[in-house]
């Protein structure tokens, strides 16, 4: 029978040292290291839980902003076949002298709208835009109307049951209007807060059957840099 010899002490020591070096090398090459203590998650804390419950329900935006446009037909539900000037004129005729609320217009603006056919150069109705804002597969009609005091009225009309239903009406000092997906985003001057503007995203609300201000924020606007000409004039 062959004999099993015990390893010599010197060779055993060398083997142990080599194994230690290999392990050390593995730890240095991509080993996991601690990132330190993880901060404890802090949840929301309710302040003044003893406040009484509100008995009256919150008012829904848009519940009075929708209205059927009288006397306007939309063949096949295609709003592109409708004259936007005729739509606004129909609303002016239905609400004569209305200066407040969703139908409110300056008297000067209402007069110019009535005279759009005879004085087209002064017609305040802007170029129309079209976009499916309700998600029903049909485009809505988006109309802008310029008014005095740098105000602009924005109105949206939905084809429905062979006619038009106004699903949004807003008027303020508009900086710009943007379409983002099915949202209509209005940028407006922030009255009384210099250096800021309002940005409101209007979205379709199926329950109210209207476009409602779903997101509203106040954004700081960086002042524009003076041009070389304006800098020279200021000297």
pLDDT in tens, 139-178: 999 999 999 999 999 999 999 999 999 999 999 999 999 9
Between strands 151-160 and 163-172, the pairing is antiparallel
Mind listing the pLDDT tens digit for each residue in 170-205?
999 999 999 999 999 999 998 778 889 999 999 999
**Three-class SS state of 78:** coil
pLDDT score recorded for residue 12: 47
pLDDT score recorded for residue 101: 86
| Longest distance between any two alpha carbons in the chain, whole Å | 123
Q: Which of 24-28, 127-131, 153-157 shows the lowest mean pLDDT across its residues? A: 24-28
List Cα–Cα distances, 163 to 42, 63, 92, in angstroms: 54, 20, 17
Separation of alpha carbons 115 and 121, rounded Å: 10
**Comparison of pLDDT for 63 and 94, the residue scoring more:** 94
DSSP summary character for residue 125: B
| Dihedral sign, Cα of residue 139, residue 64, residue 214, residue 172 | positive
Among candidate residues 77, 80, 150, 68, the one with its CA nearest the CA of residue 109: 150
Q: pTM score > 0.85 for this model?
A: no
């Amino acid at each position: 029978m062959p004999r099993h010899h015990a390893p010599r002490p010197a060779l055993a020591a060398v083997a142990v040292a080599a194994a230690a070096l290999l392990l050390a090398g593995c730890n240095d090459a991509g080993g996991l290291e601690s990132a330190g203590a993880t901060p404890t998650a802090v949840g929301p804390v309710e302040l003044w839980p003893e406040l009484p419950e509100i008995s009256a329900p919150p008012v829904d935006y848009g519940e009075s902003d929708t209205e059927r446009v009288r006397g306007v037909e939309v063949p096949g539900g295609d709003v592109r076949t409708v004259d936007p000037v005729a739509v606004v004129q129909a609303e002016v005729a239905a609400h004569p002298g209305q200066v407040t609320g969703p139908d409110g217009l300056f008297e000067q603006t209402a007069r110019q709208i009535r005279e759009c056919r005879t004085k087209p150069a002064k017609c305040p109705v802007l170029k129309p835009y079209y976009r499916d804002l309700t998600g029903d597969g049909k485009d809505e009609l988006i109309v802008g109307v310029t008014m005095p005091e740098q105000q602009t009225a924005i109105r949206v009309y939905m084809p429905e049951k062979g006619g038009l239903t106004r699903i949004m009406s807003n008027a303020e000092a508009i900086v710009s209007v943007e379409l983002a997906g099915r949202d209509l985003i209005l940028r407006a001057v922030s009255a009384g807060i210099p250096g800021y503007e309002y940005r409101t995203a209007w979205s379709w609300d199926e329950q109210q059957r209207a476009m409602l201000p779903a997101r509203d924020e106040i954004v700081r606007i960086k002042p524009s840099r003076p041009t070389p000409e304006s800098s020279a004039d200021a000297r």
